[in-house]
Amino acid sequence: MDQRSVTQYRWKDMPEEPLSDLLSRKLITGDRMMLAHVYLKQGCIVPRHSHENEQITYILEGGLRFWIGADESRVIDVLAGEVLHIPSGVPHKAEALEDTLDVDIFSPPRQDWLDKTDDYLRQR
């Protein structure tokens, strides 16, 4: 019989990982998905990147401007209460239009976030 355990989390009790002066996060990871609170100060840039992970971004507070595609030709503003789905492999870049709290869901979990090899986020 499978004796897998159930875990309850409280965001307020979780450690916040600073990545730069403008960016930090809190992570919850399961076997096949990852949930993150991402805190971005106004003007924070997340450089263009892509990953194998499917991503859903849900903005709780503030807003992010996304540039989609290798040529960044599609621009989408995602504001509080809105959700953006980014399929696996799609290049994207983002800028915080104001101080922002976003919830990112990834499947599978972002291994580069877990092993801290996400240097593109740690440069600013």
For residues 106 and 34, what is the distance between their CA atoms, to the nearest angstrom? 5
79-114 pLDDT, tens per residue?
999 999 999 999 999 999 999 999 999 999 999 999
Confidence of residue 3 (pLDDT cuts 50, 70, 90): confident
Distances (CA, A) of 112 to 19, 33, 51, 108, 120: 13, 14, 10, 11, 10
For residues 65 and 108, what is the distance between their CA atoms, to the nearest angstrom? 24
Query: Is 112 strand, coil or helix?
Result: helix
DSSP state of 14: S
For residues 34 and 10, what is the distance between their CA atoms, to the nearest angstrom? 15
Residue pair 66/84 in contact (Cβ under 8 Å)? The answer is yes
Position 122 scores a pLDDT of 86
30-82 pLDDT, tens per residue?
999 999 999 999 999 999 999 999 999 999 999 999 999 999 999 999 999 99
Pick 54 or 122 by higher pLDDT.
54
Q: Which superfamily does CATH assign the domain made up of 23-121 to? A: Jelly Rolls (2.60.120.10)
pTM of the model: 0.93
Length of the chain: 124
